[in-house]
Amino acid sequence: MEYPDPRPTAEEQTIELSDAQPGYDVLIIGGGPAGSSAGVFTARAELETLIVEDGRSTLRKCAHLENYLGFPAGVNPSVFRTMMRDHTATSGCDRLQKPVTAVSPGDDTRFAVEVEDTTIRTDIVLITSWSRIEYLEGFDVETTVEDHGDIEVLCSDDAGRTTVTGLYAAGRIAREPHQAIVNAGAGARTARTIIEAERPEFYNDWVVPEGYYESWNRTVPPGVEEISHEERKARERRSEAVMQSYFARDEDGRSEE
Ligand X SMILES: Cc1cc2nc3c(=O)[nH]c(=O)nc-3n(C[C@H](O)[C@H](O)[C@H](O)COP(=O)(O)OP(=O)(O)OC[C@H]3O[C@@H](n4cnc5c(N)ncnc54)[C@H](O)[C@@H]3O)c2cc1C
By CB under 6 A, name the binding residues for ligand X.
Answer: 29-35, 52-59, 61-62, 65-67, 99-100, 128-130, 132, 135, 171-172, 178-181, 183
Q: Closest CB to ligand X among 111 and 130?
A: 130
Q: Which is nearer to ligand X, 181 or 220 (CB)?
A: 181
Q: Over the Cα atoms of the chain, what is R_g?
A: 19
Buried b (16+ CB within 10 A) or exposed e, 66-78: eebeeeeeebbbe
Give the residue nearest to ligand X (CB).
Answer: 32
d(CA 16, CA 122): 18
Residue 183 CB, shortest distance to ligand X, in Å, is 4
Q: How far is CA 78 from the centre of its chain?
A: 17
- Shortest gap between Cβ of 192 and ligand X (angstroms)? 16
Plot region of 27 (φ>0 → left; ψ -120 to 50 → alpha; else → beta): beta
Residue 30 or 160: the one with the smaller Cβ distance to ligand X is 30
The Cα 7–Cα 27 span in angstroms is: 23
Nearer to ligand X, 7 or 172 (CB): 172
Q: Which is nearer to ligand X, 177 or 211 (CB)?
A: 177
DSSP 8-state class, residue 127: E
Q: Based on CB atoms, which residue is closest to ligand X, 121 or 238?
A: 121
C-beta of 89: minimal distance to ligand X in Å?
Answer: 15
Distance of CA 23 to the CA centre of its chain: 18
Residue type, 166: G
Residue 35 or 39 having the CB closest to ligand X:
35
Q: How far is the CB of 153 from ligand X (least distance, A)?
A: 10
Cβ-contact 198, 124 below 8 angstroms: yes
Q: Min. distance of Cβ 132 from ligand X in angstroms?
A: 4
Strand partners, 172: none
Under 8 Å between Cβ of 68 and 75: yes
Nearest to 156 by CA among 113, 186, 195, 197: 186
Closest approach of ligand X to the CB of residue 53, in Å = 4
Q: How far apart are CA 119 and CA 139, in angstroms?
A: 17
Q: Closest distance between ligand X and the C-beta of residue 129, in Å?
A: 4
Give the CA dihedral 102, 136, 147, 84, nearest 10 degrees.
-50
